[in-house]
């Protein structure tokens, strides 16, 4: 089962960690998050109950276009397009072009695991930056 690991960290912490990785001063461990949100609120907005249900529909039905996904969900294509583009930026969905310019959404993970710190400790790798 493929699991996407996500974490919560400030923009500054994520930037410092990324720079440390790029400089070769830090190598992420296999279980560390791959995707970072700047707050629990931003995580909750992107992965709301409605959007998680959308991911489930995509994973189960494998729609061949946004038009078909709109039929399955009852949501407007324009709304789906915006939502899916946001989710794509976070790596939650993959969007590819089909025939005649259709957009085909896919969900590459079966579950999402959130690492949520109870305090604001530094991220691994940010000490070296």
What digits encode the pLDDT tens for the residues 62-80? 999 999 999 999 999 999 9
pLDDT at 79: 93
Q: Out of 14-18, 20-24, 40-44, 99-103, pick the least confident.
A: 99-103
φ, ψ (nearest 5 deg) of residue 115: -100, 115
Rounded to the nearest integer, the mean pLDDT of the chain is 89
Share of the chain above pLDDT 70, in %: 91
pLDDT at 125: 64
Q: With cut-offs at 50, 70 and 90, classify the pLDDT of residue 116.
A: confident
pLDDT at 34: 87
Say if residue 61's pLDDT is above 60. Answer: yes
pLDDT at 129: 41
The CA distance from 26 to 125, in Å, is: 5
Which sequence spans correspond to the domains of the chain? 3-115
Give first-to-last CA distance, the chain, whole Å.
34
Say if residue 58's pLDDT is above 50. Answer: yes
User: Please, are residues 28 and 35 in contact by the beta-carbon 8 Å criterion?
Assistant: no
Q: With cut-offs at 50, 70 and 90, classify the pLDDT of residue 16.
A: very high
CATH of 3-115, one of 1.20.1070.10, 1.10.3720.10, 3.40.50.300, 1.10.10.10: 1.10.10.10
* Burial (CB count <10 Å: 0-12, 13-18, 19+), residue 97: exposed
* Burial (CB count <10 Å: 0-12, 13-18, 19+), residue 101: exposed
């Amino acid at each position: 089962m493929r699991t996407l690991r996500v974490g919560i960290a400030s923009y500054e912490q994520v930037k410092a960690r990324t720079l440390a990785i790029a400089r070769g001063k830090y190598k992420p461990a296999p279980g560390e998050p791959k995707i970072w949100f700047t707050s629990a609120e931003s995580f909750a907005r992107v992965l709301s109950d409605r959007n998680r249900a959308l991911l489930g529909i995509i994973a189960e039905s494998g729609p061949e276009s946004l038009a078909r996904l709109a039929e399955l969900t009852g949501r407007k294509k324009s709304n789906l397009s915006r939502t899916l583009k946001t989710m794509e930026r976070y790596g939650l969905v993959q969007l590819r072009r089909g025939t005649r310019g259709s957009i085909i959404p896919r969900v590459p993970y079966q579950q999402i695991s959130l690492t949520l710190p109870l305090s604001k400790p530094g991220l691994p790798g940010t000490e070296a930056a």
